[in-house]
């Protein structure tokens, strides 16, 4: 039987999945740790995706609507998550009042999220009506999308974009938008110029990718995801390399995406590494001496999603590899090991290959660093599970970056806690310390 979240917080014993004492935290913090590293419905090492989703919904009902709204916006635009923010919106609709419409407007960033949100809200039930505030928010968001955006995501799904348009009763801003929506309803939108459309229609892969790259119509994430296919199709390699280095549209690409691209297409690793290091250069160096400790235990080998080859360890290592400053880098599993403080792909490889991925002796690792590695700042990147009790850190600034959605964690109290795997967390550390 599922434990009630509030009762567990108030009365139950708090431990990690591996048995180490965890910290009691309020529902608001519990919600943050469950959301900001969550690929919705995807399992962690210790928990299945459904239980994580259920916990998010329960916790969202226990905290104030202002908190839920702010977290949904942060999850979408700072951690670049897509589906977990929609689940928060669903919870917000129930008790958010006038916050609902403006939050939906801000969270929905892609046209397909309009229909995905309605589908999630209905949850397979045959409903025809939507709450007023939800309609207002959807209508406002709908008006932001041009013909290309609507056509690109006008999919044959259970809830279609035209369905959302009818449900929310959006009013066009002008005659041009009114005509666009008529074409959407009639199924007469102009075919979007995307690689998916071109290849599905039988166009030559090499010619398609070369044209889209030259015309700057291939997004940066699409570029990284298609490197292997482009190489196999003998796309002009100089064109590909220049596009990788140009980093146009790279703002929303998470660090671990570079790692995935390099593993899929090793021949382009020099350019991918240079692009990743450029991301490092865009981050201000952290002042003083910094020690970074990365979790390489067995639980970190869990894939980020069922369709991904990337693991939480890859995400953690990529995040550690973009930290800028005077660094010493360590990993922990059964023991603790120092690795060279390399940037980019070399840093990722050094971390992942540093030692066998076994048990999680985080407490032992912190004891060792407290004694042997004095620093101004200690940053731990982990799924926050431990076999042993974790002591308080001695560093002036002590940060625990959590990259999983497990229910309980150890990084509170003396630790300053962050959830997520975007490079934004590094910016947050610098800004937060500067304010002290």
Q: Tens digits of per-residue pLDDT, 128-139? A: 789 999 999 999
DSSP 8-state code for residue 47: S
Closest CA to 314 of 256, 263, 258: 256
pTM: 0.78
- Using left for φ > 0, alpha for ψ between -120 and 50, and beta otherwise, residue 222 falls in alpha
Residue 108 reports pLDDT greater than 90? yes
Q: Looking only at Cα atoms, what is the longest distance across the chain?
A: 70
In this predicted structure, what is the pLDDT of residue 287? 93
Instruction: Enter the tokens of residue 279.
Output: 């991301």
Instruction: Enter the tokens of residue 241.
Output: 């390399």
- Between 51 and 68, the higher pLDDT residue: 68
In this predicted structure, what is the pLDDT of residue 13? 66
| Other beta carbons within 10 Å of 431 | 10
Cα–Cα distance list, 292 to 7, 175, 400 (Å): 35, 56, 10
| Other beta carbons within 10 Å of 4 | 12
Cα–Cα distance list, 147 to 107, 109, 187, 196 (Å): 20, 15, 12, 17
DSSP letter for each residue of 227-264: HHHHHHTT--HHHHHHHHHH-TTGGG--HHHHHHHHHH
In this predicted structure, what is the pLDDT of residue 24? 67
Confidence of residue 36 (pLDDT cuts 50, 70, 90): confident
Per residue in 356-369, pLDDT tens? Answer: 999 999 999 999 99
Contact indicator for 154, 120 with CB cutoff of 8 Å: no
Instruction: Enter the tokens of residue 59.
Output: 């916790």
Lowest mean pLDDT among 21-30, 186-195, 317-326: 21-30
| Chain mean position to CA 128 | 32
In this predicted structure, what is the pLDDT of residue 291? 97
Three-class secondary structure of residue 165 per DSSP: helix
pLDDT, average across residues 322-339: 95
Beta bridge partners, 295, equal 332
pLDDT, average across residues 24-51: 72
Per residue in 397-435, pLDDT tens? Answer: 999 998 887 777 776 788 988 888 788 788 888 888 876
Per residue in 234-293, pLDDT tens? Answer: 999 999 999 999 999 898 888 889 999 999 999 999 999 999 988 777 778 899 999 999
In this predicted structure, what is the pLDDT of residue 42? 61
Q: In order of start, what are the domains of the chain with their CATH numbers?
A: 13-186 (no CATH), 195-280 (no CATH), 284-434 (3.40.50.410)
pLDDT, average across residues 336-361: 95
Per residue in 59-82, pLDDT tens? Answer: 999 999 999 999 999 999 988 888
In this predicted structure, what is the pLDDT of residue 130? 92
| Chain mean position to CA 348 | 18
Confidence of residue 22 (pLDDT cuts 50, 70, 90): low
Cα–Cα distance list, 357 to 65, 295, 409 (Å): 41, 9, 20
For tokens 């660093």, what's the residue? 369
């Amino acid at each position: 039987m599922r434990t009630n979240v509030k009762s567990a917080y108030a009365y139950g014993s708090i431990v990690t999945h591996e048995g180490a004492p965890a910290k009691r935290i309020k529902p608001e913090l519990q919600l943050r740790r469950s959301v900001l590293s969550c690929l919705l419905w995807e399992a962690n090492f210790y928990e299945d995706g459904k239980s994580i989703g259920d916990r998010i919904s329960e916790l969202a009902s226990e905290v104030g609507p202002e908190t839920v709204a702010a977290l949904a916006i942060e999850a979408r635009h700072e951690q670049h998550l897509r589906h977990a923010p929609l689940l928060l919106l669903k919870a917000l609709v129930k008790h958010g009042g006038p916050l609902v419409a403006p939050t939906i407007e801000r969270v929905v960033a892609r046209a397909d999220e309009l229909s995905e949100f309605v589908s999630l809200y209905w949850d397979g039930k045959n409903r025809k009506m939507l709450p007023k505030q939800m309609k207002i928010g959807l209508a406002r968001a709908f008006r932001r999308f041009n013909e290309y955006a609507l056509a690109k995501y006008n999919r044959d799904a259970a809830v279609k974009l035209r369905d959302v348009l009818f449900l929310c009763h959006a009013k066009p801003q002008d005659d041009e938008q009114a005509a666009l929506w008529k074409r959407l309803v009639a199924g007469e939108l102009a075919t979007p110029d995307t690689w998916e459309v071109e290849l599905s229609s039988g166009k030559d892969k090499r010619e398609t990718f070369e044209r889209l790259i030259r015309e700057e119509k291939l997004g940066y994430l699409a570029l990284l995801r298609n490197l292997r296919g482009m190489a196999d199709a003998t796309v002009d390699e100089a064109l590909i390399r220049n596009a990788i280095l140009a980093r146009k549209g790279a703002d929303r690409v998470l660090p671990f995406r570079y790692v995935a691209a390099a593993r899929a297409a090793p021949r382009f690793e020099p350019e991918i590494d240079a692009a990743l290091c450029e991301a490092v250069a865009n981050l201000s160096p952290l002042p003083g001496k910094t020690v970074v400790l990365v979790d390489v235990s067995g639980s970190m080998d869990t894939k980020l999603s069922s369709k991904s080859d990337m693991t939480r360890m890859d995400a953690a290592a990529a995040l550690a590899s973009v930290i800028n400053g005077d660094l010493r880098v360590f990993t922990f599993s059964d023991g603790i090991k120092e690795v060279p403080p390399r940037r980019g792909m070399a840093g990722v490889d050094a971390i992942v290959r540093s030692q066998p991925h076994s048990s999680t002796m985080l407490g032992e690792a912190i004891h060792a660093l407290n004694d042997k590695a004095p620093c101004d700042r200690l940053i731990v990147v982990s799924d926050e599970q431990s076999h042993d009790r974790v002591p308080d850190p001695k560093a002036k600034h002590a940060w625990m970056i959590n990259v999983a959605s497990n229910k309980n964690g150890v990084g509170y109290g003396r630790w300053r806690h962050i959830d997520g795997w975007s490079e934004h967390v590094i910016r947050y550390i610098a800004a937060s310390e500067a304010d002290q």
